[in-house]
Structure formats: structure tokens, C-alpha cells
Amino acid sequence: MLTLYDFKSSGNGYKVRLLLHQLRLPFIYVETNILKGETQTPQFLEMNPNGKVPLLSLGDGRFLAESNAILLHLAEGTRFLPSDSWQKSKLYEWLFFEQYSHEPNIATPRFWKNYLKVGEYDEEELKRRQLAGRKALAVMEKHLQEQKFFGPQYGIADIALYAYTHKAEEGGQILDDFPAIKDWIDRVKSQPGHVTIEDI
């Protein structure tokens, strides 16, 4: 049985939960509160020395960290990951974009504004990240003006990008400025097996 160690409001963890539901894979959910240091205990660090969630236990003594690595593992051989090498490489491109250009500038402002107090983060750095986040959303908007998804069909690149994009306004973004993204969000929500970030 798969076991997912996760923090419920984490977009990175939500990616994994969403795919697990859409693949109809049963799993045990273990809430791991990052705000209370539960990823820094000796027991957790034994499973993931990087001390972060999500973390997936495969049930056979193996553990897999990093949300997009987990998505790739779970999606192998399914409709969520193309078999064509070029299409797969283009999907990887979006996954790397998500972690390098998107997540630090969409997710981090959301975390700061929702979980930290004013003064616990640098206001100028927040503004810098919000501007970089807007640029990342503009890249997505341009793609979605011509394509329905971030692959030949709905797949893990969409899941990876959707997780924090649909909550981007909580970090100070204005999604009304990106109509193609808003239409895409609706398409993602309409996919079979979709669950919200509040669901386990």
C-alpha cells in the first residue's frame, strides 16, 4: 500500500493526491505539519533526509521525494505521461519550468502571505517574486492561447502547473489578467477523478 506523507495545503502535495485519485490508486494519507517541524524529526529525516513533503512510501522500504519525481513515477505507462520521446521531453520542459520559474514565484508568495506575519518576510523580495510569477503566468498564457493543455492531452504537466496556479491569487496575482489560464483551470477541474486541494 502506498503511503503519502503530506501537508494538506501544500500545492506540491496536492499534485500527488490529485494524480493518485485520477489513477484510482488507494493510499494511506499521513498529515505531516511543516509548521510544527514534523518533517524535521529523526524518524522523518530517516525517510527523507531533505526534510520535506510530499514523500511517498512505496510500501516495500523505498521512499520517493520531490513532487514532480513522484508524478513521473506514478504516471509511467499511463495516459498521463506520453510514450513518444519528443512529447515526453516537452512535458519534462514544463515540469522543470514549474519548479524553477513558476513554483518559487507563485507558491512562495502564497506561503508568505498566508502563513507568515508581516515582518517575517522581506516585502521587496515578495514584490520581486510576484513580478517573476506574473512573467511565468504570461508564458503559460501564451501557450494556452493555442493549446488546451501542456501536452498532447491532459497529463502530469497540467497537474504540476495547476496545483499552485489555481491558488495564485492567494499570493497576490490577478488571474482575470490571464483568460486562457482561467479557461484551462476550468478544463482541469472538469477532468475525471478531480479532487480539490482541500480533499485527501
Question: What pTM, to 2 d.p., does this model score?
Answer: 0.96
User: How many Cβ atoms sit within 10 Å of the Cβ of residue 57?
Assistant: 19
User: Would you state the pLDDT for residue 118?
Assistant: 84
pLDDT for 48: 98
How many other C-beta atoms can be found within 10 angstroms of the C-beta atom of residue 113? 15
pLDDT exceeds cutoff 90 at 179: yes
Q: 3-state SS of the chain: helix, strand, coil percent to 5?
A: 55, 10, 35
Structure confidence by residue, pLDDT tens digits, 19-51: 999 999 999 999 999 999 999 999 999 999 999
Count of helix runs (H) and strand runs (E) in the chain: 8, 4
> What 3-state class would DSSP assign to 104?
helix
Domains of the chain and any CATH numbers: 2-75 (3.40.30.10), 85-189 (1.20.1050.10)
- Cα–Cα dist 120/115, whole Å: 10
Q: What is the mean pLDDT of the chain?
A: 97
Q: Region 141-145: what's the mean pLDDT?
A: 98
d(CA 7, CA 30): 8
Average pLDDT of span 129-148: 98
pLDDT, tens digit, for every residue of 78-91?
999 999 999 999 99
Residue 117 has pLDDT above 90, yes or no: no
pLDDT tens-digit series, residues 144-171: 999 999 999 999 999 999 999 999 999 9
CA distance 1 to 142: 41
Strands 55-57 and 63-65: what pairing?
A: antiparallel
For residue 179, cis peptide bond before it (omega within 30 degrees of 0): no
